[in-house]
Structure 1
Amino acid sequence: MASSTATPTRPTSAPAVIPVHRTRLFALPEMRWAAAALALFLVGLTAQASGAPSLLWWGLYLACYVTGGWEPGLAGLQALREKTLDVDLLMVVAAIGAASIGQVMDGGLLIVIFATSGALEALATARTEDSVRGLLDLTPDTATRLAPDGGEDTVAATELEVGDVILVRPGDRIAADGSVVGGASEVDQATITGEPLPVDKALGDEVYAGTLNGTGSLRVRVDRRAEDSVVARIAGLVEEASRTKARTQLFIEKVEQRYSLGMVAATLAVFIVPLLFGDALRDSLLRAMTFMIVASPCAVVLATMPPLLAAIANAGRHGVLVKSAVVMEQLGSTTRVAFDKTGTLTRGTPELADISPLPGAPFTEEQILRLAAAVEHPSEHPLAAAIVRAARQRGFELPAADKFTSQPGRGVSALVDGHFIQVGSPTRLLESVTTTAHHAAAAAAVEAMQARGRTAVVVLCERDPIAVLGITDQIRAEAAATIAAVTELTGAAPVLLTGDNLATATQLARQVGITDVRAGLLPEDKVTAVRDLESGGGRVTVVGDGINDAPALAAAHVGIAMGGAGSDLALQTADAVVIRDDLTTIPAVIALSRRARRVVVANLVIAATFITVLVIWDLVGHLPLPLGVAGHEGSTVIVGLNGLRLLRVAAWNRARGASAQR
């Protein structure tokens, strides 16, 4: 346990803070160009609506075309050099075509939509890269290397070699992966394993770079170089998953190549064929431009985007930040959900769950708790806080503790009401018990407590064990209901992926209704587990909160981070964030996504019907341009309004009800 005079460890309920240099919103050129295009479009629209001279608002719209369209246009031309035709270039050409026949406002709106979409994608990419770089800053820049003669030398952490011995003082972050060769302490390694409580470390125990030392000093032999550390591997896994994760696209983007090529070829044919049969140039050009307008995918784009964006806005109002329309579409195809344990299904805050007096103990449960809390009161260890908090909740007045001492990695001791009381690690404190019967009884109680998924703490009076305390992590009240809802919604039982030990994980899983438990996982093991779950064609959504969850969040079909206590890397890597830490919003947002997908399909049918009718009319007969524009715009308005229905509160309530009743 920690001494009151020592540097306190980080509270387990808070995430490890990564020093991140965030890319500012308008630091990216894409964001600046998109903002300029939007501003010019809005000013132009205002000028047009107020009856200003047409030259003014035409000029503003054309300036919008240039600021918002040059980048996607350039990207489209570069794609042409690689013999591909993407929808960005098609949108620019369609916008120019709209302007050429007087529909300059429609073209400007299209430009703004695509410029804004590209800017947001660039910002998301930059923020993720910022967080990955910040992760590496968890490891200190320097370390205190011990020479064979006992001297100390401050060196860069990157210069440490395998076999070097470093000194880790209280409150310092460990500079390298290694093994303890001297000293004892407790180490908060939640960033790596996700364990909610600091772990006692003594001779021979493994420690990880970037984890936080507690109140004792450690001498650590370096086992891995900086570039091979677990923290470095986490950063590498996130980057690799971000690069190799298949680029998931919206429906229209999946067919953009064929649609783009077909539309360009058809437009050229509509223009050239009549010329060959003697039509006037102006008539052929007008027919071709009309065809381009009615066949352009504006209605299809708006058939897809408004429902998804409306669902995003609705989810945001209810505490779920979904980062893009692509993510909202993906959520609905989830076939299985994998949950992290600490900070996700639990709150990451320890609480006293059991008091088990040993046979022959001279005190009642209440007296044992009162004595243990009095000894732990000066301590700053998270387990000590749980014991003291339990005593306070029961209204106990704590007696004074005299001659308080703390031994890092072992426990605390003090004189309370004339009794010498010790509280701490079973492994360390039971070594001093000389009575065989007492030792056996205490060891059996500790084993039973650990088998129930508890962290065991022993209490000794006059060096004889009198009780074993069981401490556990607080399960979120809504965890069991969420697991049941997700199971019904996806048709498959969720999975628990945790770095904690199997006994603790199994105990929690039993309480919330999970049967598939995968425990003791390092970050790369979680990625392997996700890929295994997806190997049969499944689409896995991973829910987590810690740095150790980030690689799995990046590798999964969809990653969802818990926002209340989530690490910066997890929040940036995830595709969606549960802002209010309400687990019940997870099945609700999946159900909302499924409804949005149904609306998208309905809209695509409407848009395709309008486009087909107008195109056939233009090719077979003679579609007047105003009527073609009216039909095109009418279909756009219809699908837009249909999608915006998902903005209503009733849509969220229906999704929440559907997830609860399935």
Structure 2
Amino acid sequence: MPYVLDQRPAPALPESRPAAPVRRRTWVLALPEARWALAALVLFLVALLLYLLGAPTWLWGSLFAATYVTGGWEPGWEGLKALKDKTLDVDLLMVVAALGAAAIGQVLDGALLIVIFATSGALEAVATARTADSVRGLLGLAPSTATRVLAEGGEETVDAGRLMVGDTILVRPGERVGADGQVLEGASDVDQATITGEPLPVAKQVGDEVFAGTANGTGALRVRVERDPSDSVIARIVKMVEDASETKAPTQLFIEKIEQRYSIGMVLATLAVFAVPLAFGDHLQSALLRAMTFMIVASPCAVVLSTMPPLLSAIANAGRHGVLVKSAVVMERLGQINTVALDKTGTLTEGTPRLTDIRPLPGSALDQAALLRLAASAEHPSEHPLARAVVDAARERDLVLAAADDFASMPGQGVTAIVDDCTIQVGSPARLLAALGPHTEVMTELENAGKTAVVVLRDSWPAGVLGIADRLRPDAAVTVAALNGLTGRTPVLLTGDNERAAQHLAAQVGITDIRAGLLPQDKVSAVQEWEAAGQRVLVVGDGVNDAPALAAAHSGIAMGKAGSDLALETADAVVVRDELATIPAVISLSRTARRLVVQNLAIAGLFITALVAWDLIGTLPLPLGVAGHEGSTVIVGLNGLRLLRETAWPRHTDRPGTSADTADLESQDAA
């Protein structure tokens, strides 16, 4: 169905009582974990500076002690509660190792360990809280009240959650639809981008389906409720996001099992290193020193730093180039993907309709500028997205618009106005098809190219046809090619838009696998199908309708400028400046970071094995043990920091060219 021009908006009417705003923790320090981690980091840095400057021991020592308290009390307390449940986690082990280091004079080592784990816990808490808030905030899209039409013809305002299947509701201009249902009376244009991702409002008439939370245009609709509010599309999106997030739990459980075994083994080994020599007559001080040395050299500081510096450096590098990667875990997962699914509107395209074609018809005696001026003058009073596209194109060409008298509009049909003493009609081909006569091939050509055709009549005679499309991003084609090279397969197009528009865009960027007309659950099903087949899927999208697929996928990336709040919060990473070419670049960067992690783990494992063996077989001097332990930590840290360099950012694409739609219009202007 072609998109059509809307009428001038009616005066704003008060909507049903808006949903109560959801309190969002937008500031990181609102979380106690983040405050404690920041305090520990500041105390550690001040203490380290005083230590290096030769300040009195009591001064820097008290600050290090404060670091232990601020950064270690929470993991220590959680570890003690875990002990009550007969489990031992690595957080408690790290606190014990830090205290053990302090007990034999290695206060700096212990403080560093405390800071690392406090920071990691804070990042996890922030990510969890932000995602939970965004999911709850989605419910605010649907209005809390609706206007129910009574059997005797009256109206009443009711809680939208109390609507029942079969009820009839009235949706006034500017309101949001209160429930999923079918239009019984009226016509309007409904913005349903939150559900289907379509870039333009869709004309709704009797018999058409509407969704809860979508925004009504300028017409009034009577809608029969077809689904219980708890089963609406918007409610199912919330549930799918929550369910998909929970499917990542098995990986977390596996990590916890590893932590548990390592922690138990570490404690038992330390006790054995202390007790066995003591049982064979060793002195208490000597046995304790050996055990503390063992705890230090076996401490996983280097192992922890093996992972974090490469990944955090990669995150910082990506951030400088406009990609916000939310955690080190995300950065690692991005390098594992082998299938990419791309949304259309707002992802491969800019998400804003643009005028692409100006076609004066033979016999109209108009050139392109004159035709555009008449259409823009008539459209100027309208606020419809297509009308704005026409008016913006006229302004870009510095055309002086004429006054539009007797402006009138009908939802789903178009506008009429008196311009330069001529009656100008601008509207859909469906409405003005008869007037086109033999010129319908122009309209067909534009629609076959995936564009929206808009007909312009002057005094009831066909003057021309305008083509409007959502413009392709300049770097879309080179990005698709780069992703194909990285994964070995062409990306898939997942879109709620119609098949014809999807086919046209896919041909421009080189995509052959197209799935169009999808609702949010359909996108999730496609992702789950690939995941079940062993694929690790990256989904790239921007809308609320993409959020469930972003959550269900192995990794998700959201477009930042026009992205919905839920998509931005659900996604693992955000392309802040909407530069598609950064997506293959960050995947390559992730793969480099993962290679450095493997190198670092090998280095850390070699040092730990050698030092532990030395301590157990011979007599490892404590200073040498500390030097070896800290040396391995420095080596793996510096190795990971290599990714901070500008040269570490991959360059997959040349300077992007102009899009096909832009080239079309430029060639017409040249003609």
Is 1:222 paired with 2:217?
A: no
In 2, distance between residues paired with 1:461 and 1:253?
73
In 2, distance between residues paired with 1:370 and 1:64?
69
3-state SS of paired residue (2:418): strand
Match of 1:399 among 396, 402, 413: 402
Change (3 A) 1:442 1:20: farther
3-state SS of paired residue (1:26): helix
Match of 2:633 among 621, 631, 636: 636
Is 1:541 paired with 2:544?
A: no
In 2, distance between residues paired with 1:238 and 1:8?
34
3-state SS of paired residue (1:656): coil
Q: Aligned AA for 2:93?
A: L
Q: Aligned AA for 2:286?
A: D
Is 1:116 paired with 2:119?
A: yes
Alignment of 1:556-567 (within 5 A): 556-567=553-564
Tell me if the contact between 1:488 and 1:659 (Cα under 8 Å) persists in the aligned partners. no
Alignment of 1:29-68 (within 5 A): 29-68=32-71
Tell me the equivalent position of 2:662: none
Is 1:609 paired with 2:612?
A: no
Tell me the equivalent position of 1:294: 297
Q: Aligned AA for 1:585?
A: T
CA RMSD of aligned residues (A): 2.6
Offset at residue 563 of structure 1 (A): 0.9
Q: Aligned AA for 1:390?
A: A
Is 1:305 paired with 2:308?
A: yes
Tell me if the contact between 2:581 and 2:652 (Cα under 8 Å) persists in the aligned partners. no
Offset at residue 244 of structure 1 (A): 2.0
Alignment of 1:467-506 (within 5 A): 467-506=464-503
Tell me if the contact between 1:7 and 1:171 (Cα under 8 Å) persists in the aligned partners. no
In 2, distance between residues paired with 1:610 and 1:126?
38
Is 1:587 paired with 2:569?
A: no
Is 1:211 paired with 2:247?
A: no
Query: Which whole-Å deviations, capped at 9, do the CAs of 1:400-447 have from their partners, x for residues lacking one?
Result: 3332111122210123344333222333444xx4x8xx56x5666545
Tell me the equivalent position of 1:184: 187
Tell me the equivalent position of 1:88: 91
In 1, distance between residues paired with 2:444 and 2:257?
56
Change (3 A) 1:412 1:237: same
Tell me the equivalent position of 1:656: 651
Match of 1:524 among 521, 524, 542: 521
Offset at residue 258 of structure 1 (A): 3.6
Tell me the equivalent position of 2:198: 195
3-state SS of paired residue (2:490): coil
In 2, distance between residues paired with 1:389 and 1:305?
48
Tell me the equivalent position of 1:14: none
Tell me the equivalent position of 2:658: none
Aligned length: 645
3-state SS of paired residue (2:518): coil
In 2, distance between residues paired with 1:369 and 1:53?
79
3-state SS of paired residue (1:348): strand
Identity of aligned residues (%): 68
Is 1:621 paired with 2:625?
A: no
Alignment of 1:453-468 (within 5 A): 453-463=450-460, 467-468=464-465
In 1, distance between residues paired with 2:253 and 2:371?
62
Offset at residue 348 of structure 1 (A): 0.9
In 2, distance between residues paired with 1:479 and 1:456?
24
In 1, distance between residues paired with 2:70 and 2:275?
32
Change (3 A) 1:251 1:486: farther
In 2, distance between residues paired with 1:2 and 1:300?
62
3-state SS of paired residue (2:29): coil
Tell me if the contact between 1:19 and 1:138 (Cα under 8 Å) persists in the aligned partners. no
Offset at residue 284 of structure 1 (A): 1.2
Query: Which whole-Å deviations, capped at 9, do the CAs of 1:618-652 have from their partners, x for residues lacking one?
Result: 11110011110111011111111111111111111
Query: Which whole-Å deviations, capped at 9, do the CAs of 1:3-50 have from their partners, x for residues lacking one?
Result: 3453599xxxxxxx9955221423322223223322332343344334
Change (3 A) 1:623 1:635: same
Alignment of 1:332-411 (within 5 A): 332-356=335-359, 366-411=369-414
Query: Which whole-Å deviations, capped at 9, do the CAs of 1:208-247 have from their partners, x for residues lacking one?
Result: 1111111111111211222111111111111111222246
3-state SS of paired residue (2:638): helix
Offset at residue 657 of structure 1 (A): 4.9
Query: Which whole-Å deviations, capped at 9, do the CAs of 1:551-572 have from their partners, x for residues lacking one?
Result: 1111111111111111111111
Tell me the equivalent position of 1:326: 329
Tell me if the contact between 2:584 and 2:652 (Cα under 8 Å) persists in the aligned partners. no
In 2, distance between residues paired with 1:266 and 1:659?
56
Offset at residue 289 of structure 1 (A): 1.0
Offset at residue 398 of structure 1 (A): 3.4
Tell me the equivalent position of 2:425: 422
Tell me if the contact between 2:478 and 2:653 (Cα under 8 Å) persists in the aligned partners. no
In 1, distance between residues paired with 2:493 and 2:652?
25
- Where structure 2 has 5 or more consecutive residues not aligned to the other structure, the ranges are 14-18, 656-671
Larger CA deviation: 417-426 vs 215-224: 417-426
Query: Which whole-Å deviations, capped at 9, do the CAs of 1:298-340 have from their partners, x for residues lacking one?
Result: 1111111111111111111111111111111111111121111
Tell me the equivalent position of 1:514: 511
TM-score by structure 2 length? Answer: 0.90
In 2, distance between residues paired with 1:416 and 1:292?
86
3-state SS of paired residue (1:6): coil
Change (3 A) 1:155 1:18: closer
Q: Aligned AA for 2:140?
A: D
TM-score by structure 1 length? Answer: 0.92
Offset at residue 515 of structure 1 (A): 1.1
Tell me the equivalent position of 2:447: 450
3-state SS of paired residue (1:153): strand
3-state SS of paired residue (1:622): coil
Is 1:645 paired with 2:642?
A: yes
Offset at residue 75 of structure 1 (A): 2.6
Change (3 A) 1:376 1:629: same
